[in-house]
Amino acid sequence: MDFKKFKAATVQTSPVFLNVEKTVEKAITFIKEASQNGAQLIAFPEVFVAGYPYWNWIMTPVQGSKWYEKLYKCSVKTDDEAMQPLFQAAKDNNIHIVIGINERGDSYGEIYNTNLIIDNNGILIGKHRKLVPTWAEKLTWTSGDGSSLKVYNTEIGPIGTLACGENTNTLARFTLLSQGELIHIANYISLPVAPPDYNMAEAIKIRAAAHSFEGKLFTIVSCSTISKEIMEALKEDVPNVEELLTRKNSAFSGFIGPNGAVIGEPLIDEEVMVYADIDLEKCIQPKQMHDILGHYNRFDIFDLRVNVAPTRKITFVDNHEEFNKRL
């Protein structure tokens, strides 16, 4: 058997707020640097292209409505011209990319929090839409469905991804583990507006460690930061925005090994890119102890069913008899 070994990079930084083209350019700068340093995989934060709806947390829904319009106008589809340089960068630099975007739906009230999985040939091999927007996010994003709960086989190993709070969802995580996931990308946003007793950096680390320890795999965490540019943009509507969006221990990025321990030094709040060497062979011995996909489970007792069918908004029936059968 061939157990892959490779270097991975993870980025902790902010997007160029609500600017797709400049954010893609910023991402490509990191991609080139990571590739030059030997990385074969790079992870970017949640909705990195091109920004998180912080207004949902610090404005009323009515105040924030104009900001939703701005976000919709700069949301993207994967075949948009502005996105093509990102795919080309993956190919040119022979690197796999997982990156969060605001994906534009077909209706004006439809934006998805989506993670893209791009292989080293520049091919979009998958995308995952966040299953449930978290808390105030429900004012912005539409829920995804089970069709995107997939693990993708790549040259460096099987990759799965979940966005931010859904890394708390045990059933979603088990669904990925059951498909042979060995490399998990968990991306987040910095959240200074969490309750006072909530340490966002610690909460991110706990979830990543839990998934790695339970599944005996590698978790790569990428979290965004909040730039002065973002705060300046929101300041006219929220004069005390710095007070609300400045707080220590609001971001965590780094690597967790199959034993649940942090690899190297994690990033707390600072903007930088870090690397780790990943050796998938290290997933074997821990599974001898606890393999919840094999000997350490009881599938004669537990039965998880997952609906992986894409959501259908409407069904047209052109036959009266067929239509009446459904009533």
Write the pLDDT tens digit of every residue in 272-282.
999 999 999 99
Count of helix runs (H) and strand runs (E) in the chain: 10, 12
User: What pTM, to 2 d.p., does this model score?
Assistant: 0.97
Of 257, 266, 208, 245, nearest to 14 (Cα)? 245
H/E element, 324: helix 320-325
81 DSSP 8-state letter: G
Q: Quick one: which of 95, 169, 97, 94 has its CA closest to 131?
A: 169
Domain boundaries, the chain: 5-325
Dihedral, CA atoms, 298, 304, 308, 314, nearest 10 degrees?
A: 170
Note whether 129 and 148 are within 8 A (CB): yes
* 46 is known as an active-site residue: yes
- Residue 209 is inside which H or E element, if any? helix 200-215
Catalytic residue among 46, 103, 137, 181: 46
Q: Are the beta carbons of 220 and 8 closer than 8 angstroms?
A: yes
Please give the CATH topology (third level) of the domain spanning 5-325. Nitrilase/N-carbamoyl-D-aminoacid amidohydrolase (3.60.110)
Q: How far apart are CA 238 and CA 69, in angstroms?
A: 18
- How far apart, in whole angstroms, are the C-alpha atoms of residue 187 and residue 165? 9
Query: Tell me, what's the pLDDT at 324?
Result: 87
The alpha carbon of residue 80 and the mean position of all alpha carbons in its chain are separated, in whole angstroms, by: 20
Residue type, 179: Q
CA-closest candidate to residue 232, choices 223, 222, 216, 245: 245
Tell me what pLDDT residue 327 has: 55
Q: Are 150 and 127 in contact (CB under 8 A)?
A: no
Active-site residue, 313 included:
no
**Active-site annotation holder among 26, 130, 150, 216:** 130
Predicted confidence pLDDT, tens digits, the chain (327 residues): 889 999 999 999 999 999 999 999 999 999 999 999 999 999 999 999 999 999 999 999 999 999 999 999 999 999 999 999 999 999 999 999 999 999 999 999 999 999 999 999 999 999 999 999 999 999 999 999 999 999 999 999 999 999 999 999 999 999 999 999 999 999 999 999 988 899 999 999 999 999 999 999 999 999 999 999 999 999 999 999 999 999 999 999 999 999 999 999 999 999 999 999 999 999 999 999 999 999 999 999 999 999 999 999 999 999 888 888 865
**Residue listed under structure tokens 């209706």:** 107
Strands 111-118 and 124-129: antiparallel
Active-site annotation holder among 26, 74, 164, 216: 164
β 157-163/96-104 pair status? unpaired
Concerning whether 127 is annotated as a catalytic residue, the answer is: no
Q: How far apart are the first and last CA of the chain?
A: 54
Residue 258 dihedral angles phi and psi, to the nearest 5° = -65, -15
Distance (Å) of CA 312 to CA 79, 118, 147: 22, 26, 11
Taking a C-beta distance cutoff of 8 angstroms, is the pair 141, 71 a contact?
no
